[in-house]
Structure 1
Amino acid sequence: MADPLSEDDILEAIARHIGRPGQGPQLRRTGADISRLPMLDLRIVRCMEIRTTRQETRPGTYDTSGLPVYEGDLQDHPVEPPKDPAVSRTVQLVLRGSVRTLPCGCDDGRQPCSRCRAKGKLRCDIGPVCPACKGEEPCTWCDGTGERRRKRATAGSAREKPPAGRTTCVKCRKPRTACPECLGRGTKKCPQCDDTGFRVCPVCEGERSTEHTPCGGTGLVTLWTGGSVRQAPERTSLKRPEQAPPLRVRQQTGRAGAWERDILTSAGDPLPDGLDPAHAEAVEPVLAVRQGEVARRVDIARLQLAAVTIPDDPDHVFYVFPGHDGPQVLPVWSRRRSLRVAAVVAGVVVLVLLVVALV
């Protein structure tokens, strides 16, 4: 562990930064105020485990020899956690002695077709409308019904000369009454059923039955009690101080800070030496073992940070932290200066609005 920066180190670093090297003690005498703000970035990855059992079913004779076997209660069976607790995985197991292959109970691997209700065929839709008569007057005698249409003219008018170009109707057999394209049907010949009114069921292809899905057409099913061990990461983080420093400070300390880092891999590992007492108090409850936890990795990063104000420069707060090449200093506007700048900006905005209103 690196030694924390002393107050003398902090003040001398500020003196060098403002161009007054060697005058760190002078800053102390003029009333420099040092506030310690130790930073902590703690990240925990826990491997959490959930175990469940269920009845498994597979069609036919299913080989379970490739799955690990457990005996008794699944909760008592040892399963190694992954080497990296951030890795997710699921281990499937088989209860010893639970595997059975039984008859399915179907009709030799077949089941009645649900689409055609085991008939092998379906009713066919009416064919496309005749392009010549549009289906409106396929036969002047029966209108495509095969029977003399109602409200037909009197017998005398029926002997009138039929329309030219008509042919014998296939429905009522009346000569020179039907559309020559559809022969009185009103539709073109159906390409699916050849005008029989029925077509082959596309599901069973006329066989009236289909393969029984639960057994895959084998007539057998394999049953067993399966165990599942699900291991998945769960992440927790803790940052201090609770009132975070300004964004610029966080960014700069992340880039240039000489953070001390420790990794804990067991719930019994002690906390690092030199951890700030307030941080240790906040960390201990976060590190408590949780139900279902089987592995962990705790990354602890800490950095000594100090905020310094000096009477000679009331417009800045100087943040000092250890860097890779010695103490680093980052001046940030003080609250006083920020409020003053904000007031000036607000005054300019008001002035502009007044000018615009007058124009």
Structure 2
Amino acid sequence: MAESLSQDEVLEAVARHIGRPGQGPRLRRTGADITRLPMLDLRVVRSVETRTTRAETRPGRYDISGLPTFEGKLRDHPVEPPRNPARSGRLELVLSGSARTVDCGCDEGRQPCARCRARGTLDCDIGPSCPVCKGVEPCTWCDGTGERRKDRATSGPAGEKGPSGRTTCLKCRRARTACPQCRGRGTEQCRRCEDTGFRVCPVCAGERSTKHAPCDGTGLITRWTAGSVGHAPERSTTRLPDPAPPLRVRQQAGRTGAWQRATLTRAGEPLPDALDPAHVKAVASALESRPGEVARQVDIGWLPLVSVAMTDDPDHVFYVFPGSGGLEVLPVWSRRRSLRAAAVVAAVVVLLLLVAALV
């Protein structure tokens, strides 16, 4: 197809587009700069394979009879490549003869409770401060310790009448010395342990042991050597020329251009004969085999594209490419005209700012 875009055909297509049919040769004489910019759209999807082995364990008698097996080294086991390289997949296998069920080594499926350290109980925090004495003077005799205070003089022998409203202390048993609310404790009674100082462990419920997690309480473990063969797609894209033509040209060529396309599915498969010579090296480099590649799909699209800049029309560049009905011509502004338009816009903006400042 590239050979079909001769200079004469390109110039005649431009001449027809500007309303001067038959004057293609005249455009050449007046000065026409023709640049070939063949377009390439190369998309590659490779399926890359990875193989790993690992030790696996499951609690109890675990059934792995439904998994396929492999012998010897996993790298030597034949696995069919995926039919669609764009799809991910994983095959799980078992090394032949590696599966066995063994005793866990625990105490018949139980293990000491880690929360209470096999005591069955937990220390309980004391309750909140007494709302009456605030824990400051729960007992005038022992201060809630159960023993006589040594830093103050006592109010008299046991049984002697003490301060009004006081009651017998639960700690030292002294009459009429304790706060009537907490009775010498200095705190409210703990509702969880009723002031015993310990409570039942919520993890083991006082049993001092819990189910052994690795064997799920069965006392047995199934072990085997597992193998995994994974397939993951890796995608790459190459688009030429570089730098790319203007966006408008790329969009129009993508919609109406008569692209030639080919699909390759094997490494080393010959490239299409019609591929533009300017692209052969780039395509060959992009299609080199990658480590672990087991399958591929290569979609190649190419389209001849020519730009024409004419001396007698410096404001436009004409892009020519084959379409479904013949050669299509798409004019775009030249760099010179784009810069001039940008300068005009900038001048208008400056003028508007000056007017706004004066108003």
Farther-moved stretch of structure 1 (318-327 vs 15-24):
15-24
Quote the sequence identity (%).
71
* Cα deviation code 1:135-155 (max 9, x no counterpart): 222222222111222322365
Which one-letter code corresponds to 1:306 in the other structure? V
2:196 is aligned to: 196
Match status 1:168 vs 2:163: no
Q: CA deviation at 1:227?
A: 0.6
3-state SS, counterpart of residue 251 of structure 1 = helix
Q: Is this contact kept in 1: 2:258–2:323, CA < 8 A? A: yes
With the length of structure 2 as denominator, give the TM-score of the two structures. Answer: 0.91
1:264 maps to 264
Provide the secondary structure at the position in 1 that maps to 2:170: coil
Measured after TM superposition, the shift of residue 191 of structure 1 is 1.4
Separation in 2 of the partners of 1:347 and 1:255?
A: 37
Residue-pair matches, total: 359
Cross-structure match for 1:71? 71
Q: Distance in 1 between matches of 2:232 and 2:82?
A: 10
Q: Equivalent residues in 2 for 1:1-359 (5 A)? A: 4-153=4-153, 162-345=162-345
Q: Shift of the alpha carbon at 1:330?
A: 1.9
Question: What secondary structure is seen at the aligned counterpart in 2 of 1:279?
Answer: helix
**Cα distance in structure 2, aligned partners of 1:241 and 1:63:** 58
The 3-state SS of whatever aligns with 2:133 is coil
For the aligned residue pairs, the C-alpha RMSD in angstroms reads 2.6
* Structure 1 residue runs without a partner (length 5+): none
Q: Deviations over 1:2-58 (max 9, x none)?
A: 984343432233233323344334323332222111011111110001111111111
Alpha-carbon shift at residue 207 of structure 1 (Å): 0.9
Q: Is the 8 A contact 2:34 2:306 kept in 1?
A: yes
Task: Please list the CA deviations of residues 224-248 of structure 1 after superposition, one character each: whole Å capped at 9, or x if unmatched.
Answer: 1111111111112222112211222
The amino acid that maps onto 1:166 is R
Between the aligned partners of 2:40 and 2:30, the Cα distance in structure 1 is: 31
Letter in 2 for 1:132: V
CA deviation after TM superposition for structure 1 residue 353, in Å: 7.8
- TM-score, with normalisation over the residues of structure 1? 0.91
AA at the equivalent of 2:132? A
Specify whether residues 180 and 344 from structure 1 end up closer, same or farther in structure 2 by C-alpha distance, changes over 3 A only.
Answer: same
Work out the CA distance in 1 between the residues paired with 2:60 and 2:232.
33
Deviates more, 1:256-265 or 1:345-354: 345-354
8 Å contact from structure 1 (residues 120, 207) kept in 2: yes
**CA–CA distance in structure 2, aligned partners of residues 152 and 319 of structure 1:** 108
Superposition deviation, residue 252 in structure 1:
2.4
Where does structure 2 lack aligned partners over 5 or more consecutive residues? none
Which segment is superposed worse, 167-176 or 302-311? 167-176
Deviates more, 1:306-315 or 1:318-327: 318-327
Cα 1:87–1:168 shift into 2, 3 Å: same
